Chains A and B, each alone.
Chain A
Amino acid sequence: MLTVTSVSRSFGDHRVLDEVSFEVRPGRMTGFLGANGSGKTTTMRIVLGVLAAHGGTVAWQGSPVTGAVRQRFGYMPEERGLYPKMGVAEQISWLGRLHGLDRDTARRNTERLLDQLELAHRAEDKLEELSLGNQQRAQVAAALVHDPVMLILDEPFSGLDPIAVETVLGVLRERAAAGVPVLFSSHQLSVVERLCDDVVIISGGRIAVSGARDELRARYGPARFELVVASDAGWVRDVPGVRVVDVDGPRAVFEPDGDAGADQVVLEAALRRGTVRSFTPVVPTLDEIFKEAI
């Protein structure tokens, strides 16, 4: 587990991180959300030792992170880059060795990853000869080649086409399932919504919210229900103890007004009137949580 505790950082007089604390749990995909300039990249750079913190600690399995531990982290920086004139397989395997693998293991891992990322046919080409999407896949391979104990990915899905997103996602999920904590930042909330188990929302250098995605939804979203009946649903407006958010023909969205049992009253009334096609609690999107939290 990676634990970030009270990390602060300033650039000149500008305080970009203020007592940032959160954790990344093993086997879970943690989405790191925040607007541009909110401190996501700075936080990641501090975790990786690329940037020094002006206060606070970063701990791995309870002990401060050392260079030897960091060597086993996998990192995909926001600004992508590998050696343009070096062969794809050659440089990924070189990076694996730089991360501490022996030559054979590095070569084996490279082959396996390029295979998984559907890049094996370009293994011998120079990086600059690849399309941007394929360069991105190579970048993912570079972050994973040494079987990292912790993965930190800055905007891993930006610039990927939908098929590539699925491929990369599959590889990341596999790592998470093997027990690796995965921290990835994104500004595409819908992507994070679908992928992450935990969410950390940062705003103006402070952590606004953090926790399991589902808990946050329960905590932040007002309890809402959607009812779809066979005929017009306008009658819901007249049910006492219910505030209607939206009615559109047979579909109505409402919030129980205080009393928790009001949703069941509506459901019973609907069943008395005729066919009920669907009755579901409406879960707030991350977008809504995000807007509410910051």
Chain B
Amino acid sequence: MTGVTEQGGGSRGFAAATRLVAEREMKSFLRAKGFWIGLAVIVVGLFAISILPTALGGGETEVAAVGPEAAAVLTDSGLRVREVDDVAAAEALIRSEEVEAAVVPDTTGKSATGVRVLALSDAPTDVLAALRTAPPVDLLDPAEVGQGQRQLAIMVFSLVFLMFGMSGAAIAQSTVTEKQTRIVEILVATVPVRALLAGKIVGHSLLTIGQVVVIAVAAPIALRLGGHSELLSLIAPALGWFVPFLVLGFVLLAAMWAVAGSLVSRQEDLGSSMGLVMILVMGPYFGVMFFSDNVTVLTVLSFLPFSSAIAMPVRLFAGDAAVWEPLLALGLLAGTVVLTVLLAGRVYSGSLLHTGGKLKLAKAWAREG
């Protein structure tokens, strides 16, 4: 029943070890309540942002109109008009706050439009705006995307990047747990260290892609329910670019999170080694938020790895980038990913079995082999 000859399976290579490590990482995450709560919060938040403003806004402003002149003025104003018989009836509606204001015939002859506006305590700005007769405007080069929509896209892309970038901290946690419990010694004696690193990156990247897919499915539904179909058709092409950028950006950060975890021996020390990676996650977030109006900076950010994951999709969304630009940025990002993973592999090998205080990066590099 035991012995040398009965060995099931046979020798497995690097790929099999990577797959097993990835499988374990994913399983332990999918089993954690926190993971599902986090995802639920995101999806619920998404629906809340798209639907609540429409639902809570109370719809259109309602005004009362007395006489045919008032009704004529209010046509095409975007306000809901309630025609009443006389000024007294209009006043009653205002006092009972059933309407925000009333438009009544001008009896003094001072009004150019021939009507006056009655309101309770404040001048009703939206009614006045609707009544103001502005000259028509002709745009020579109309922007495809409004400023507000662009800001919204920047915020959504940045937040999603920040969220997933930070979720990579779980890789650092998992690495430290293995070091702290010393199971790492069994793992290292069994499979190549680089397979451990690769398995962690693959496992967490797959988890991230899964969440991105959930969000990518939920977002259009939420936008449609919230009545933002036109925004959806605008955002869809940029979203197509955002996904590969986000995934590659995550892999890049994942390798760095793993190294951050390998440099310390205890959970308590994790904070000291995570600082740099945090900066690399927060930096692009704040960079794009602050410089969203500066074309030059945003262009530079859209090619730099890390920030390109947000900045390039934003430029694509606004229609500011040529076709070759996202391809080049993606290529740069992919190159950086390969290089970083290779470097991380060496540092990881050098630091994984180190115990005691925090290990310096350079020392971990030198310790390998």
Contacts and interface: CB of A to CB of B under 8 A. Distances in A.
Interface of A: 45, 48-52, 67-68, 70-73, 75, 77, 79-86, 94-95, 97-102, 104-106, 112, 142-143, 146-147, 149, 174-175, 178-180
A71 B11 contact: yes
Interface in B7-45: 7-12, 17, 20-21, 24, 28
Interface in B174-217: 177-178, 180-192
A44 to B, nearest CB: 10
B4 interface: yes
Given A45-B185, A101-B9, A149-B4, 10 more contacts: A52-B369, A68-B11, A75-B185, A77-B186, A79-B182, A83-B177, A98-B191, A100-B7, A100-B10, A102-B9
Residue from B1, B181, B192 whose CB has the most chain A CB atoms within 10 Å: B181
Nearest to B17: A98
A66 B7 CA distance: 17
A50 B188 contact: yes
A174 B185 CA distance: 25
Interface residues of B, number: 33
A48 B9 contact: no
Nearest to A152: B189
B111 interface: no
A73 B12 CA distance: 14
A68 B14 CA distance: 10
Contacts of B304: none
Given A83-B181, A175-B2, A75 B20 contact: no
Nearest to A104: B8
Contact of B181 (A82, A106, A147): A82
Contacts of A146: 7
B6 interface: yes
B177 A70 contact: no
B46 interface: no
A112 B9 CA distance: 18
Nearest to B353: A50
Contacts of B148: none
B353 to A, nearest CB: 6
B189 A49 contact: yes
Contact of A50 (B10, B181, B185): B185
Contacts of B4: 147, 149, 178-180
Given A52-B369, A85-B28, A180 B3 contact: yes
B186 A95 contact: yes
Nearest to B8: A105
B189 A48 contact: yes
A49 B182 CA distance: 16
Contacts of A68: 11
A147 B191 contact: no
A112 B60 CA distance: 72
A180 B177 CA distance: 32
Residue from A50, A77, A106 whose CB has the most chain B CB atoms within 10 Å: A50
Residue from A70, A75, A147 whose CB has the most chain B CB atoms within 10 Å: A147
B185 A112 contact: no
A79 B2 contact: no
Contacts of B190: 70-71, 75, 95, 98-99
Given A83-B183, A178-B2, A101 B8 contact: yes
A19 B183 CA distance: 29
10 contacts: A50-B188, A50-B353, A75-B186, A77-B182, A82-B183, A95-B190, A100-B8, A104-B8, A178-B4, A180-B3
A153 to B, nearest CB: 12
Given A105-B9, A149-B4, A81 B181 contact: yes
B181 A84 contact: yes
Contacts of B181: 81-84
Contact of A100 (B1, B9, B184, B185): B9
A114 B17 CA distance: 24
Contacts of B189: 48-50, 70, 73, 75
A291 B189 CA distance: 33
Contact of A79 (B1, B11, B20, B185): B185
Contact of B2 (A73, A86, A147): A147
Residue from A49, A98, A180 whose CB has the most chain B CB atoms within 10 Å: A98
Nearest to B19: A97
B241 to A, nearest CB: 38
B66 to A, nearest CB: 73
Contact of A98 (B1, B2, B8, B20): B20
B23 to A, nearest CB: 8
Residue from A52, A70, A83, A112 whose CB has the most chain B CB atoms within 10 Å: A83
Contacts of B188: 49-50
A97 B24 CA distance: 11
Contact of B24 (A94, A101, A143): A94
Contacts of A149: 4, 7
A81 B185 contact: yes
Contacts of A52: 369
B7 A147 contact: yes
A49 B191 CA distance: 10
Contacts of B186: 75, 77, 81, 95, 142-143
Contacts of B177: 83-84
A43 to B, nearest CB: 14
B183 A81 contact: yes
A49 B7 CA distance: 21
B11 A81 contact: no
A178 B9 contact: no
A70 B189 CA distance: 7
